Structure 1
Amino acid sequence: MADDPFSLFDRWFAEARDSELNDPNAMALATADARGRPSVRMVLLKGHGSDGFVFYTNRGSRKAGDLAANAQAALLFHWKSLRRQIRIEGAVSHATDAESDAYFASRGRDSQLGAWASEQSRPLDDRATFEARFAEMKARFDGQDVPRPPDWGGYRVTPVHFEFWHDRAHRLHERRVFTVDEQGGWREGLLFP
């Protein structure tokens, strides 16, 4: 039964990319603020490997504030068509500036401009205000590359725990867990459904 959890993730993720119609890289990101109040939202996985799972956001957003106060997070991938989900828990750190710059440069121009125009998670009086800010950014960067905003970048979740859940008939589900051991390797086990 032994597997490396990253290899198993890669296999399941490849199957999800082949079968899910929309955003197979969508994941729920759960954080908690300094007082322990939880919050969860959907984000997109933009990179992964043995060093962790990377997503990008405005560093002034609520999720960024939570992570600044409590640098732990949980991720959940749910692929309904495959009847599978993967839970991941771990510590969170910033992705490097080079990683953030490279990913930002790969985004569509309107997405880049939107990152400059948005004060993510801050109150907005009406949609017209945001649209006006977007138009200002479009004019500001007309004819030039759009650089990454200084308050925008990546976060990496470095796993200490994985759970691979596979739906089975009559709620007799399969649940495989991997937990980091004292030597930095992975201890594997099963959970009752």
Structure 2
Amino acid sequence: MTDPYALFAEWLAEATKTEPNDPNAMCLATATPDGRPSARMVLLKGQDARGFVFYTNLESRKGGELAANPHAALCFHWKTLSRSVRVEGSVEAVTDTEADAYYASRHRSSRIGAWASRQSRPLEGRWALEKAVAEYTLKFGLGEIPRPPHWSGFRILPARIEFWRDMPFRLHERRVFLAEGGAWREEALYP
């Protein structure tokens, strides 16, 4: 298969059948403008021929790092399948239409949480978060909960996608796809 997006979709479908929790979990690595890396787990919420999408509070540490340095790396690891996928590329914001559609699909409590959480900033105590949740629950009542202006998504636009599969005697299979001039070039790597 020479289409890395199709291969990824195939592997994700297999992981969805075997992984007990969050087969769409991925480690997202960002970096400050001076190159200090940070990594955390997020959930993949969309994947198409343009890239890999996740959503977050834009005022979070990752949001700030991506605004200052719009490059990132992802790593999916499916232990039950003995496989992983690494993605590296530039980052762009999703459209307001995409962010609105995904936000509207979230559970009501998650939409309230997007308003209440000052993600990545110091928390005085759990009571402060619970108080904010109660305030926003009261504010929005039973009505519609609009998407906060500080909440949206990012799309990683891959320049490189590497597929790793465990093989006997640590002679693993590694296939890398490199974006070149609107097409993908594939090569094998030593394990």
- TM-score for both structures, normalised by structure 2: 0.99
Is 1:130 aligned to 2:129, yes or no?
yes
1-side partners of 2:42 and 2:97: how far apart? 21
1-side partners of 2:72 and 2:134: how far apart? 35
Is 1:93 aligned to 2:69, yes or no?
no
Shift of 1:72: 0.3
Is 1:22 aligned to 2:13, yes or no?
no
Shift of 1:42: 0.2
- Structure 1 match to 2:69: 70
Task: Letter of the 2:130 partner, please give it.
Answer: E
Is 1:155 aligned to 2:154, yes or no?
yes
Deviations 1:66-92 (A, max 9, x none): 101110000000000000000000100
2-side partners of 1:38 and 1:5: how far apart? 26
1-side partners of 2:5 and 2:105: how far apart? 25
The answer for unaligned runs of 5 or more in structure 2 is none
SS in 2 for 1:110: helix
Deviations 1:51-78 (A, max 9, x none): 1100000000000111011100000000
SS in 2 for 1:124: coil
* RMSD, aligned α-carbons: 0.6
Shift of 1:9: 0.5
The answer for unaligned runs of 5 or more in structure 1 is none
- TM-score for both structures, normalised by structure 1: 0.98
The aligned runs of 1:103-114 (5 Å cut-off) are 103-114=102-113
Task: Letter of the 2:27 partner, please give it.
Answer: A
2-side partners of 1:143 and 1:5: how far apart? 44
- Structure 2 match to 1:188: 186
Task: Letter of the 2:78 partner, please give it.
Answer: W
Shift of 1:143: 1.7
* Structure 1 residue ranges, 4+ long, deviating more than 3 angstroms after superposition: none
2-side partners of 1:85 and 1:148: how far apart? 33
SS in 1 for 2:114: helix
Deviations 1:5-38 (A, max 9, x none): 1111011011011111100000000000111100
The count of corresponding residues between Structure 1 and Structure 2 is 191
SS in 2 for 1:56: strand
2-side partners of 1:112 and 1:101: how far apart? 11
Q: Is contact 2:85–2:161 with CA below 8 Å preserved after alignment?
A: yes
Task: Letter of the 1:169 partner, please give it.
Answer: P
SS in 1 for 2:8: helix
Shift of 1:184: 1.5
